[in-house]
Every structure is written in C-alpha cells, then in structure tokens.
Amino acid sequence: MKIWDPTHECISRDELEQLQLERLQATINRVHKNVIHYRKKFNELDIIPEDIISLADLSKLPLTSKDDLSHNYPYGMFAVPLREVVRIHSSSGTGSKPIVAGYTKNDIRIWSNLVARFMTAAGVTHDDLVQVTFHYGLFTGAFGLHYGAETIGASVIPMGTGNTERQIMIMQDYKSTVLVSTPSYALELAFRIEQLGINPKSLSLKVGLFGGEPWSEKMRNELEQGLAIKATENYGLSEVIGPGIAGECSCKNGLHLYEDAFLPEIIDPDTGRVLPAGAEGELVITTLNKEAFPLIRYRTRDMTSLDYAPCACGRTLVRMKKTNRRSDDMLSIRGVNVYPSQIEEAVFGAVQGEAPYQIVVERTQAMDSMEVIIEITDKIFALELQKQRSFLELVKKRITSIAGMSASVKLVEANSIPRQDGKIKRVLDKRQI
Amino acid sequence: MLRIKNINTFYGQVHAIKNISLHLAEGEIVTLIGANGAGKTTLLNSLSGIVPPKTGQIIFKESEINHLAPYKIVRLGVSQVPEGRQVFKPLSVEDNLELGAYLNYRITGGKTQAKQDMEMVYELFPILRQRRKQLAGTLSGGEQQMLAIGRALMAKPRLLLLDEPSMGLAPMIVQEILKVIANLSREKKTTILLVEQNARAALKIAHRGYVLETGRLILEGTADELLENKDVQRAYLGRDKKEIWER
C-alpha cells in the first residue's frame, strides 16, 4: 500500500531524533521569544532555550494544561501576529470560554499533509469519493479530513452532520467510497441502512475513517460488517492541530504517531513524571513545526502507551495504542467534548447559587444522549410552576451555549439522587462502549 | 552526511552561535537565512574550523570534525567559498585554481588529476577559460565569484559551503551562479550549504532551509514552507519586526 510521505514516515530513528532535536530547539526559541506565557514559565524555572540540548531535556520544561490555554483566552498563546493567521478553530474549554487555536498558511498545509498520511495508509487514493459527515464549523474534524482528501486529490462530498436518510441517499447515488464520521454516527448509519433494507454490499463504500471519540474493537467489527467497509481510526485534538496527530495503517495494530511533527511523551497523570517507553500513561505532546499555535508539553488527558517496535507496513514512526480512557472527567458525546465543569457552570448560573445535580449519559442504539437531573432546592421550590418551567428552559439554553450540545433537563425531589458517602456521583455514564 | 548538535561558538565574550543543531543529507542544497549579524557566516566558519565551536558536535560522514584544523577538514571533503570571494588578486585565474587543488596535489602528487578538475571548472564557467591567464584582480565581481567557487571545487569537496555568493552582483549574474550551484547538486551530487541574504533566490534552488535569528535557529522547513513564512519574508525584505500583538 502507498505511503504518502515516505521520507518522514519511514525515517530511521537516528535521523528522526536529529530532526526532532532541531525542530524542538527552533520551536522553543520561537515560543521563548514570542509567547509571553512560555517565557514566564521558563523564567520561573530559570530555564533558557540553551538548556535544551537533547530530547530528554524536554522533561525540564513545564507541562501545559488546558487551563493554561483558557487563561490566555483568546489569542495569548499565539506565536505569530494575528495578521499572519489565516484560520481560527476552537474547541471546548473547561469553562464557558472555548480554546482558540490559530493556523498560518503553512500550518494548514502541514495539517493537510498529515491527514493525507493516514488517509493514504487506510487506502484512500485520488480516485475516491469522500463523504464527510463531521460538522463544518469551529471544530477541526471536517476541515482536517476535507483538506487531507483534497491534498490526495480525492473528491470531497462535504455533507456536514445530520439528516441520516439524506446521507444514505447521497452515499448510494453519488457512490461514496470513503466515509468520514464519528464511530457512533457510523453505527447509526449502519442501523438505518439495515432498517431501510439496503444491502451494505450494494453500497460503494470501502473505507471508514473514524475519529473524534473513543470506540472499541467490538464497534469496529459491527461497523465493518454493517457497512461492508474496512474501519480505521485516526487521532487528533483540536488544541494540538485537529485530526492528523496519529492514524492507523492497514495493520490496524496501533496508530502511527507523526513524530516528525509531534514529540510524544507518556507521563504519570498524578505526578507528572515521564514514564519509560511502553508504559501506559497520559499522552503529552510537543508540536515541532507549528507556526501560529505551538504547544510545549501539552497534556492531552488521553491515556495510552507507545510501541516503538517496527510495524509490518514499513512505517518507522511509533504506534500509540487506541485511547479509551482519560485522566480527567471529559465526556465525549456524539463527538462533542463536554466537561462536567461546563454543565455545572450552566446549572449554577441558572440557579444563581448551588444545587445538587447529576449528569446522566446514555446510549440507545448508537445515539448518545445527555440528561441533567437537578434536585429541587428551597430557592427553586419557591418559584411558581410557570417560572419553574422557564427555569428548566434557561438551564437547557445555558448548556447549549456553553457546552455546544443539547441536553434534557429535569427536576427531581430533594435528596432523591443516590449518594455515596454523602456525595453525588457527578457523572453517571451508562454507555457500554 | 553532515550532522551538527548543539554547537556554541564565541568571539571572545560574544556568544555568536547559540546551541545550534542542523543536518544535511547527501546531495541536498540547504540554505541558511537570516538578517545581518544573525550568525550565518560564523556558523560556516565553525563548520570549516576557522572559528571552532567551544562546545557541541559536528559530525561529517561519521567522523567528528569539530576539533580538527581547517586544512584537515578540507582534506575530508569540506570546502568553503568565503564571503566577498577572497580570490588571490595578484595571481592569474589558473594559479588561483591550482591553489585550490594544493591539498589534493600534496596527497596524490599527480598533476593530471588537477588538470582534469580544472577542465571541469572551465566547463562549468566557460568565461574562466577565456580569462585563464588574466590576473584575478582584474576580473569582474561575477567572474571573481565564479573563480572562488571554481577554486573550492578544485579540492573535490563532498560538501560545499557557500557564503553570500550573490553579494554585490547584478541580478543576471546571480541567476547564472545559482544555476551552476543547482547543477552541482543535481549532476555532481555535491551537498551544498548556502548562506544568502537573497532568501528568495536561495530558496528557489534549495531543498530545505533554516532561519537564524541572533545566533539561534528559529525555524527549519522545506523551501516552500519557508517562502510562505512571514518571518522569512520579513528577513528577506529587511523590514523590522513589528510588535507581536496587533489586535
């Protein structure tokens, strides 16, 4: 199978480490010069760029968390003047403000080529028709895959989200060969195709490129059968670049992480200590060639491990294990990342005080849903019925605006949410992925 | 082919090269871009042993050369074409070229090889053949540059270090010289490290480049990426960097 960028994807470890060191040093020089946040952090630890003389020295530098990005909202972490930025994306922050990431022309080009790597690895060529069912907007997913496909020379069908019947009609009529989606939405498509009595083998689909949320091998089997495709996974974070950090090859044995662009580390999420190769821990990423929004030791909160053993496909880049666990409480619901802290902000804001609440996440067939249960407090109880109803509406609206997704909200009697040691479990995730 | 790790070079108290790492693959043209005083020439001088780095490592074809004397580095296959050509003005073109072969001549003792090499230089720069009896000091700037490159080639380098070959030359001549440089890489597989103020012209023939700023490398990338980069465009245009935040 073809390799998009053999120079980098099949580079020897020795040459790769030299390139990584050069790019790491250049990135550190740039952020030290241009990003006040990093300069301050380096100064606090009494570190100058010249202290970094090996890849291992990276661990001397401070970790960067999502909160650091939030505190520098909106443009504080940019390393270039705003006029050099050609694109802005954002992703959910832990509070009401999103994280803002910028891209220069080069960043977009680098990004497109990284996406082209895993698309090519999955078997996508310039003869393919790629149906993108991600949401086009501030999220990076749709644009990343869109540009990657165009870079390869494939034809893109930019469907966007929703309208499952129409998606299936277009899939049949336009003869889409590649499906880009979240695994849960692909499952939804597979269910509907079955309901409509369409034989999946009659479709032209051959490859599914899935990402945006964790999924299991069981789901992969369901998708491969239900859609008659080869299902591959790709990994990315909007803060880092979007999709295109890592992707599976045809061996489906871990995701090749594009180490010439991203330097990975695995840390113990509690102590922050770097763990030896092969150990499971939290993935930390340092960008090596991003211009507008470079990140030094960014905590992804995704738990994984790295495998440096050579892969049968010929790519030499390290493989990361599928991530199914996080080291924080972020929820991935229908491909949208939601933090319980965002829901809390919405609820407490509407109550104008505190109220006991619980977030319940469920999956019926392939669809995830979120319900927020709030216990009646004296303050809410004192409201007239009419006002109680508009209170619920207010909470819903706040959740939509802060978390970027809808949720159902209901009131329950005081003390009716089960407690453990007097505490309510904030999130009840009933999904079995 | 060449690999540099963390070199630091000083002029007395002045820290001119700060922790620079870079590499060149066989047959590559790599350009160093940066404003005046960024440390481009110093980096070349560190490579050729004229101003050896205080710390760090320079590995050329698997051997460490950072502690070697310049003539030994030349013997290993690294030749430098200095800034401002520095031809021997009172000598003829031919004598200048012969001096370039001096080290090889000392080793092999044969003059025939030098003659062949000189033919090769004359083929690259036919004008030098016409001027071969003329004193180097009487040549035009462009011809002197050709002579300086020719003299370096006489040492049969695997790696050629070129310092500002376009300096002070007419655009037409610059084009011609850059064309020869591109040919050297393509046909003779000579690896080339090119320092240029004229970033645009250099990036047109280079595969990759590095951007230097006050002794530090701030960027590595393909020629296309660098051409698109605003820092490079600023350095090339010689404009001052504006403040970072313009809201």
Where are the domains positioned within chain B?
A: 2-86+156-237
Contact B232, B226 (CB under 8 A): yes
Rounded distance, CA A419 to CA A425, Å? 7
Q: CA-to-CA distance for A87 and A99, rounded, in angstroms?
A: 14
Could you tell me the CA-to-CA distances from A36 to A32, A62, A300, B213 in Å, in that order?
Answer: 7, 14, 22, 18
B212-229 mean pLDDT? 92
CA A161 – CA A420 distance, rounded (Å): 39
- Integer Cα distance of A31 and A78 in angstroms: 9
Q: How many domains does chain A have?
A: 2
Query: Is residue A344 domain-shared with residue A313, that is, in the same domain?
Result: no
Q: Do A343 and A275 share a domain, yes or no?
A: no
Contact A104 B229 (CB under 8 A): yes
- CA–CA min distance A62, chain B (Å): 20
For residue A72, what pLDDT is reported?
Answer: 94
pLDDT score of A147: 97
Pick from A313, A328, A343: which residue ends a domain? A328
Average pLDDT of the residues in B181-197: 92
Q: Three-class SS of residue A284?
A: strand
The average pLDDT across B11-24 equals 94
Tokens of A343: 């829901």
Contacts of residue B22 in chain A, CB cutoff 8 Å? Answer: 22
- Are residues A362 and A217 part of one domain? no
For B66-82, give one letter per residue: b (16+ CB within 10 A) or e: bebebeebbeebbbbbb
Q: What is the dihedral of CA A134, A137, A138, A140, to 10 degrees?
A: 40
Residues A367 and A323 in one domain: no
Structure tokens at A397: 């609206």
Peptide bond into B70 cis (omega under 30): no
Cα gap B226→B232, rounded to integer Å: 6
Rounded to the nearest 5°, which phi and psi values hold at B136? -55, -35
Question: Band of the pLDDT at B79, cuts 50, 70, 90?
Answer: very high
Answer yes or no: do A282 and A413 share one domain.
Answer: no
pLDDT for B30 beyond 90: yes
Third-level CATH fold of B2-86+156-237: Rossmann fold (3.40.50)
Task: Classify the phi-psi angles of B22: left when phi > 0, otherwise alpha if psi is within -120 to 50, otherwise beta.
Answer: beta
How many other CB atoms sit within 10 Å of the CB of residue A105?
17
pLDDT band at B103 (very low <50, low <70, confident <90, very high): confident
Report yes or no: A106 and A291 within 8 Å, Cβ to Cβ. yes
- Interface contact A53-B6, CB threshold 8 A: yes
Which residue range forms the structural domain that includes residue A337? 333-429
User: pLDDT at residue B42 above 90?
Assistant: yes
- In tens digits, chain A (433 residues) has pLDDT values of 799 999 999 999 999 999 999 999 999 999 999 999 999 999 999 999 999 999 999 999 999 999 999 999 999 999 999 999 999 999 887 777 889 999 999 999 999 999 999 999 999 999 999 999 999 999 899 999 999 999 999 999 999 998 999 999 999 999 999 999 999 899 999 999 999 999 999 999 999 999 988 888 888 999 999 999 999 999 999 999 999 999 999 999 999 999 999 999 999 999 999 999 999 999 999 999 999 999 999 999 999 999 999 999 999 999 999 988 888 888 888 878 888 888 888 888 888 888 889 999 998 877 888 999 998 888 777 777 788 888 889 999 998 888 888 899 988 888 888 888 878 888 988 887 6
Task: Give the separation between CA A411 and CA A117, rounded to whole angstroms.
Answer: 49
For residue A81, give the nearest of B225, B228, B246 by CB distance. B246
Picking from A273, A296, A328, the residue at the C-terminal end of a domain is A328
Is residue B23 within 8 angstroms of chain A, CB to CB? yes
> For chain A, how many helices (H) and strands (E)?
12, 23
Domain identity same for A320 and A337: no
Residue B111 pLDDT: 73
Which residues of A lie inside 8 Å of B (Cβ-Cβ)?
Answer: 15, 18-19, 21-23, 25-26, 29-30, 33-34, 49-50, 52-53, 75, 80-84, 104-106, 109-110, 289, 291
Strand partners for A130: A156, A178
**How much of chain B exceeds pLDDT 70, in percent?**
92
Q: What is the pLDDT of residue A315?
A: 96
Q: What is the per-residue pLDDT for B239?
A: 46
Predicted pLDDT at A360? 92
| pTM, 2 dp | 0.89
In this structure, are A121 and A178 located in the same domain? Answer: yes
State the pLDDT confidence band at B246, using cuts at 50, 70 and 90.
very low
Residues A302 and A406 in one domain: no
- pLDDT of B200 strictly over 90: no
Phi, psi for B50 (deg, rounded to 5): -70, -45
For residue B102, what pLDDT is reported?
83
Cα B168 to Cα B174: distance, rounded to the nearest angstrom: 9
- List, in sequence order, the alpha helices (H) in B154-198: 171-187
Are A216 and A320 found together in one domain?
yes
Same domain, A340 and A277: no
Interface of B with A in 165-224 (CB under 8 A): 210-211, 213, 216-221
Using pLDDT thresholds of 50, 70 and 90, give the confidence band for residue B236.
low
**A290 and A338 fall within a common domain:** no
Q: b/e per residue, B202-230, with b = 16+ CB within 10 A? A: bbebbbbbbbbbebbbbbbbbbebbbbbb
What pLDDT is recorded for position B240?
46
DSSP assignment string, A47-71: --GGG--SGGGGGGSPPB-HHHHHH
Is pLDDT of B241 > 50?
A: no
Q: Say if residue A141 is in the same domain as residue A241.
A: yes
Q: How many CB atoms lie within 10 A of CB A361?
A: 18
Q: Which chain A residues are closer than 8 Å to B20 by Cβ?
A: 25
Q: What is the mean pLDDT of residues B80-90?
A: 92
For residue B217, the chain A residues in CB contact (below 8 A) are 22, 25-26, 29
Q: Which residues of B touch A52 (CB under 8 A)?
A: 19
Residue B237 pLDDT > 60: no
> Which of A286, A308, A328 is the C-terminal boundary of a domain?
A328
- Residue A63: exposure state from Cβ atoms within 10 A (0-12, 13-18, ≥19): middle
